[in-house]
Amino acid sequence: MAPIKSKKRIRRNSGFTFIELMVAAMVMTIGLMGLINLWIFSFQVTTNTDYTGISYNLGRQAVERTKMLGFADAPEGTSITYYDGDQNQVSSSSGTAVYKVTTSIVSDSVQSGSPGQPGAVPTDTALRTVTVTVTVISTNKVVYQTNTYLARGGI
């Protein structure tokens, strides 16, 4: 006896349903959001590391320049110098300025003038404090700061 065949067609399930597509899109979106956040975080870490390294170089350069001038020739007061991202000196009005280096020299005793003010003349026994601060202009964040001293004998 031959089997009875049903006239109903058997449907094959092929392809994706709309719900399956939506779930897959949601899973993929969550994964991409994680990757984008990781990229943003790593970019910020790299940028901060660059700022720190360049700021250290600029700060040490300012200290060495002051020490080369020596006790008697280093001018009393505060001076500000601007640099671009490649450590080239630029003007303050330049749109390329990235770093502001502030060098402040203050004597604990002066022959004339006021300590820390331009034109003051330090005594021979004065201890001169040199403070260098490097600031990133865009965020106004102090990235590097150091102090050193100048004495007549040369420290």
E strand or H helix at 122: strand 121-122
Cα dihedral sign for 113, 118, 124, 130? positive
At residue 70, the pLDDT reads 87
At residue 124, the pLDDT reads 87
Beta partners for residue 83, in sequence order: 89, 99
Give the tens place of pLDDT for each residue, 32-49. Answer: 999 999 999 999 999 889
Residue 17 confidence (pLDDT) above 90: no
The CA R_g of the chain, rounded to the nearest whole Å, is: 33
Q: Which of 134, 125, 133 is nearest to 153 (CA)?
A: 125
**Both tokens assigned to 118:** 């331009």
Per-chain mean pLDDT for the chain: 88
Give the whole-angstrom CA distance, residue 24 versus residue 80: 57
Q: Which has more confidence, 71 or 94? A: 71
Q: Which has more confidence, 7 or 23? A: 23
